[in-house]
Amino acid sequence: MHSHQDHTNKPKAGEIVPHIWIVEDDEDIREIAIYALRTANFEAIGFESGDNFFAKLASLKIGGEAGSKTGTKAIKDASNETDSNSPPDLVILDIMLPGENGLTILKKLRQHPQYNTLPIMMLTAKGSEHDKVKGLDLGADDYITKPFGVMELISRIKALLRRSNLPTEGSQPNQAPPLSFQSIQMNHTSRTVTVAGEAVNLTFKEYELLHYLLINAEIVLGRDKILETVWGYDYEGESRTLDMHVKSLRQKLRQAGELIKTVRNVGYKLGV
């Protein structure tokens, strides 16, 4: 389907446009998503399998060995013909794929130093609660259930990009003083976190959650407020998302994880 190659909204000269990669074996879904993303002024390319996806990553100068030995495998997906060899700023992963499934690909990306904070959205089948929880546990930042609406997809992508400090609507990188609480140190300009002087690698959702807790240290924050602020839109009924991120954040903060307190029937707070 070559008709989807033209951008409906051409980026202005010098404008930085986020690159979205989508791994989805259903050609119709993949092409619709690519078309919608390009219409919304994103660069977008698609892959039908993990092999093709990792081959493309490995072909990039910064990609190196991104978790696959298929770096010389030809990529035949027609939707890639407008690609400019830029690394992805966000990846959309279907869970059910031929060969490696989306969860396996996610795990490899989170274990790779180049891509362990890359924003990742999972595509899940309706009602597959186990897949959603597993994806969040492995470090996914968001998920959307198929069939999905184009406007919802674009809205979620923009929310993810805003929180990863990537340009969406002329946004500027955050310039903020360092934050600290007990042994936790955060440099919000460089987006780095240390605990007792040791670096901690967080997904950007984990990072944003910790940032929100830090700027509200010793204040009890309601679950709905955390979801609205950190995820950027109404997450009604999705409290499991927050719980999984708190669990993984506590683990990564090691001994400092005990500072994140559960306030029963209310939410969480960072405190002693």
Question: Distance between CA atoms of 55 and 157, rounded to whole angstroms?
Answer: 24
Q: What is the mean pLDDT of residues 175-183?
A: 81
Q: Residue 130's pLDDT is what?
A: 73
Render pLDDT for 149-175 as a digit per residue (tens, 0 to 9).
888 889 888 878 876 654 444 444 445
Q: Give percent of the chain with pLDDT exceeding 90.
A: 38
76-125 pLDDT, tens digit each: 343 444 445 788 999 999 999 989 999 999 999 988 888 888 899 998 87
pLDDT at 179: 87
Inter-helix orientation angle 129-137/239-252, to 10°:
30
Q: Which helix (H) or strand (E) holds 125?
A: strand 120-125
Contacts of 261 by beta carbon, 8 Å cutoff, 6+ apart: 268, 269, 270, 271
Can you list the domains of the chain with their CATH numbers? 2-163 (3.40.50.2300), 179-270 (1.10.10.10)
Q: Could you tell me the pLDDT band of residue 193, with boundaries at 50, 70 and 90?
A: very high
